[in-house]
């Protein structure tokens, strides 16, 4: 309803403006001064309305002020035809209403100044003083905006056609400052007119005025463009006068807007040289002023200035800009006791960004900002506010993004102190950001002390915080991703020097073992493999070239023994067994028989006591057999003991097919290509015969239970046949053609009983045998010639 009324009133006023403008233009065309003044006054009388909102009033003002341009040109032409400009100046003051009179006075006054018949100082002073007659906020603001507009190019400044002495320049400066002061008072007064219930409406209207025409800020723009305003004038006159008005108006909206205008309008060098004065006003602003927006705008402006001009950097050091900004922020935080934690952190975030842009080589400055933030946060404790936590993450991420080097971050003593104020979830978020930075930039953490410092930063991922329990809800997928990040990180903790790398391994272990049973299965494996990599680099015997007992392969392997034991206590027996076997191989490479035997003993113990699932047993046993087959460090006695146990485990598997396969795999333990003392053909055949007996039992059960054809059990015979062929080719004299012939006949017989065709596996095997028989290379063909193949027909 109000909007509809606004439109109606605007339409009526606009129609009146158009009508009077038409008659005014007709009078101008006929050189009728009297009628021109009459109809122009009637046209301007429409601006006396109080019914329109600022937005609608602005539309009306624009239309009326556009028409006044024709009147200004008419006045100029009249003076050219001999009419006295002084008489015109007096004549327009006879208008009946004050508002039209002053608009006409401003219009003729601009012509009067241009004529140079009188000093600009007198006219400007007269106009700015007489405009005080209009104290209605809305009408007064637009009147003074029109005054600033028509006199803008008539101010006596250096380089203008009205240029005068220094005193004249100061007169122009005084005019603009006075107009600015009066406009600001009118703008602030708008907030205090009318009932309290309409406060929000009035605030909205004031914002409309600011955004539409920059009514008050227009004067500051004019000041910023005056040639006579140098650094000295700005420092001694302009800035103090403006700040006095800003502070004394005690209006939140005006203070925020005007501070922003000051920062944006005047040159960067002016701000730098008067930094202490500008910053000194900040604590005097109203507590409700968004001070972070003001200071962030200032610091961003100065940062861009430093980035655009290398020559400007010494000026920053000369005026000690960093210390002044740091001190000012501290004063603001101290003065505004109700300032939210997020706002204070934001202030220090902008200071940090400023420091990183301007003083990127000064880590002490960066650390000082972090320390100042810590001092502020010490009064709040742990941050529970999401907004404040996000600001802290942005605050801590800024140096990471600037340096792209976590090693540099580790030199900042206050960095971990800031992280202490984050809640558990946000701490983990920040830890992941740190790890991602290391992975992305391929950063190497190369000393034990750096490892300690790094794990202090990411401890939110390494262990639970105080107050958290196992019952706390944890997203498993997120948890796995977090711990995988830690696992990848371990491989970036590296030093080419074995002694320092040993220290790094010990430090990593110290931190990782605090993680608890849920984390250890994910974080211990990379530690183990990193240590094994070091051990292989150090391979070469028992002597330690460094004179440090902790740097020998034996000591590191002993450390791994204790480390992997923790996994078995954390219900990760299968993983622990795998790692024991990996450690045994490393001990084998270093020719440490006793240590390797100990690892196998522990692996066997885990197999016997902890692994009960049949599938897990099969997998574990294959790993044991495969690892043991590659071991070369054991003497005959130790190897026989370990091999005998592995064979025994094979025969005790739950399922017969698994027993068969495990037993024939054990045959490899008696036949190693390196070294004659590791070849025992009789035991190989013995294992294969045992496997065949188990296969026979499986086949009998299959024949007894099947009602229809089944070839599933025959595959065990085929697998055995392939093992016999393998050892035949490897030169085992105990594997004879008769044995292979007998097994092949058995396969054919069982296949016929099953009343089904030969499977792909047996067909491929037989074709391979025939192919080898037909080879002419000698050795291999002779071995296969011993096998009679008539049955294949």
431: Cβ contacts below 8 Å, ≥ 6 apart: 457, 458, 459, 460, 461
Query: Which position has the token pair 């000393």?
Result: 447
* 8 A C-beta contact, residue 746 and residue 701: no
* 8 A C-beta contact, residue 302 and residue 321: yes
Burial of 85 (0-12, 13-18, 19+ CB in 10 A): buried
Query: Which position has the token pair 């942005």?
Result: 394
Picking from 339, 358, 236, 336, the residue whose alpha carbon sits closest to that of residue 282 is 336
Q: In the chain, count of helices (H) and strands (E)?
A: 40, 0
Beta strands in 638-786 (DSSP E): none
510-527 tens-digit pLDDT = 999 998 889 999 999 999
The span from the CA of 267 to the CA of 226, in Å, is: 12
708: Cβ contacts below 8 Å, ≥ 6 apart: none
The span from the CA of 669 to the CA of 466, in Å, is: 51
* 8 A C-beta contact, residue 757 and residue 739: no
The span from the CA of 271 to the CA of 281, in Å, is: 13
Can you give the residue ranges of every domain in the chain?
1-118, 164-265, 688-792
Low-confidence residues in the chain, pLDDT < 70: 1-3, 157-168, 194-198, 209-215, 465-473, 540-551, 675-676, 706-713, 754-758, 776-779, 789-793
What are the DSSP calls for 38-101, one per residue?
HHHHHHHHGGG-SSS-HHHHHHHHHHHHHHHHHHHHHHHHHHHTT--HHHHHHHGGG-SSHHHH
Distance of CA 474 to the CA centre of its chain: 23
What are the DSSP calls for 186-201, one per residue?
HHHHGGGSS-GGGHHH
Picking from 119, 232, 112, the residue whose alpha carbon sits closest to that of residue 165 is 119
DSSP 551: G
Counting every residue written for the chain, the total comes to 793
The span from the CA of 705 to the CA of 569, in Å, is: 44
Picking from 678, 677, 768, the residue whose alpha carbon sits closest to that of residue 726 is 768
Burial of 405 (0-12, 13-18, 19+ CB in 10 A): middle
Picking from 742, 734, 627, the residue whose alpha carbon sits closest to that of residue 683 is 734
Picking from 85, 80, 92, the residue whose alpha carbon sits closest to that of residue 117 is 85
Picking from 430, 438, 350, 355, the residue whose alpha carbon sits closest to that of residue 396 is 430
Q: What share of the chain is helix, strand, coil (3-state, %, to 5)?
A: 75, 0, 25
End-to-end CA distance of the chain: 105
The span from the CA of 296 to the CA of 407, in Å, is: 28
721: Cβ contacts below 8 Å, ≥ 6 apart: 740, 743, 744, 747, 762, 765
Picking from 377, 397, 285, 272, the residue whose alpha carbon sits closest to that of residue 322 is 272
Q: Give me the half-sphere count of Cα atoms (radius 13 Å) on the Cβ side of residue 76.
A: 13
Q: What are phi and psi of 139, to 5 degrees?
A: -65, -40
36 CB neighbour count, 10 Å cutoff? 23
Q: What is the pLDDT of residue 352?
A: 94
652: Cβ contacts below 8 Å, ≥ 6 apart: 659
């Amino acid at each position: 309803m109000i909007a509809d009324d606004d439109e109606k009133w605007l339409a009526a006023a606009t129609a009146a403006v158009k009508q009077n403008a038409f008659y005014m233009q007709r009078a101008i065309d006929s050189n009728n001064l009297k009628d021109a003044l009459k109809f122009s006054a009637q046209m301007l009388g429409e601006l006396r309305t109080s019914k329109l909102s600022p937005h609608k009033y602005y539309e009306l003002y624009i239309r009326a002020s556009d028409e006044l341009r024709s009147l200004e040109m008419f006045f100029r032409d009249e003076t050219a035809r001999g009419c006295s400009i002084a008489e015109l100046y007096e004549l327009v003051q006879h208008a009946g209403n004050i508002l039209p009179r002053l608009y006409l006075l401003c219009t003729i006054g601009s012509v009067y100044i241009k004529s140079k018949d009188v000093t600009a100082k007198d006219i400007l002073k007269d106009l700015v003083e007489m405009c005080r007659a209009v104290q209605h906020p809305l009408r007064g603001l637009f009147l003074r905006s029109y005054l600033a507009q028509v006199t803008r190019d008539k101010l006596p400044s250096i380089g203008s056609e009205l240029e005068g002495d220094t005193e004249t320049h100061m007169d122009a400066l005084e005019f603009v400052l006075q107009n600015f002061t009066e406009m600001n008072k009118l703008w602030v007064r708008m907030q205090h007119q009318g009932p309290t219930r309409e406060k929000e409406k009035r605030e909205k209207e004031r914002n409309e005025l600011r955004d539409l025409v920059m009514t008050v800020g227009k004067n500051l723009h004019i000041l910023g463009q005056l040639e006579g305003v140098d650094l000295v004038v700005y420092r001694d006159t302009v800035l103090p006068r403006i700040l006095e008005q800003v502070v004394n108006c005690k209006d939140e909206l005006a203070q925020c807007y005007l501070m922003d205008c000051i920062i944006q309008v005047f040159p960067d060098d002016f701000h730098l040289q008067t930094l202490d004065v500008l910053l000194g006003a900040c604590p005097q602003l109203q507590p409700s002023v968004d001070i972070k927006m003001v200071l962030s705008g200032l610091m961003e402006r100065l940062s861009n200035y430093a980035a655009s001009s290398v020559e400007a950097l010494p000026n920053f050091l000369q005026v000690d800009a960093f210390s002044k900004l740091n001190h000012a922020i501290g004063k603001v935080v101290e003065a505004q006791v109700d300032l939210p934690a997020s706002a204070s952190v934001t202030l220090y975030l902008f200071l940090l960004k400023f420091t990183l842009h301007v003083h990127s080589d000064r880590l002490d400055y960066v650390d000082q900002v972090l320390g100042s933030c810590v001092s502020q946060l010490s009064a709040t404790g742990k941050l529970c506010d999401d907004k404040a936590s996000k600001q802290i993450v942005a605050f801590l991420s800024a140096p990471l993004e600037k340096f792209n080097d976590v090693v540099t971050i580790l030199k900042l003593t206050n960095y971990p102190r800031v992280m202490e104020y984050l809640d558990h979830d946000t701490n983990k978020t920040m830890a992941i950001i740190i790890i991602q930075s290391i992975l992305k930039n391929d950063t190497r953490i190369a000393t034990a002390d750096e490892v300690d410092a790094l794990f202090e930063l990411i401890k939110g991922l390494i262990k639970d915080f105080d107050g958290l329990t196992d019952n706390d809800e944890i997203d498993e997928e997120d948890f796995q991703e977090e711990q995988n990040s830690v696992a990848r990180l371990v491989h970036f903790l590296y030093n080419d020097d074995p002694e320092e790398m040993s220290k790094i391994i010990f430090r990593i272990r110290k931190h990782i073992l605090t993680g608890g049973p849920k984390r250890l299965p994910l974080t211990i494996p990379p530690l183990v493999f990193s240590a094994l990599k070091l051990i292989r680099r150090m391979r070469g015997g028992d002597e330690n070239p460094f004179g440090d007992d902790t740097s020998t392969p034996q000591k590191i392997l002993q450390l791994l023994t204790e480390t992997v034991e923790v996994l078995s206590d954390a219900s990760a027996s299968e993983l622990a067994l795998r790692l024991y076997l990996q450690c045994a191989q490393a001990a084998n490479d270093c020719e440490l028989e006793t240590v390797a035997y100990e690892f196998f003993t522990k692996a066997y113990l885990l197999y016997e006591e902890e692994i009960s699932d049949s599938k897990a047993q099969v997998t574990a046993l294959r790993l044991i057999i495969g690892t043991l087959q590659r071991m070369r460090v054991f003497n005959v006695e130790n190897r026989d003991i370990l091999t005998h146990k592995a064979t025994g485990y094979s025969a005790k598997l739950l399922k017969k097919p698994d027993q068969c396969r495990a037993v024939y795999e054990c045959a490899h333990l008696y036949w190693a290509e390196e070294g004659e003392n590791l070849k025992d053909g009789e035991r190989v055949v013995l294992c294969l015969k045992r496997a065949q007996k188990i296969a026979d039992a499986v086949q009998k059960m299959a024949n007894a239970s099947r009602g229809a054809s089944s070839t599933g059990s025959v595959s065990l015979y085929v697998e055995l046949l392939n093992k016999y062929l393998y050892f035949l080719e490897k030169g085992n004299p105990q594997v004879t053609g008769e044995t292979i012939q007998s097994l092949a006949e058995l396969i054919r017989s069982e296949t016929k009983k099953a009343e089904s065709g030969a499977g792909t596996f047996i067909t491929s095997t037989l074709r391979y045998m025939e192919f080898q028989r037909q080879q002419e290379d000698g050795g291999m063909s002779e071995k296969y010639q011993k096998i009679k193949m008539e049955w294949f027909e």
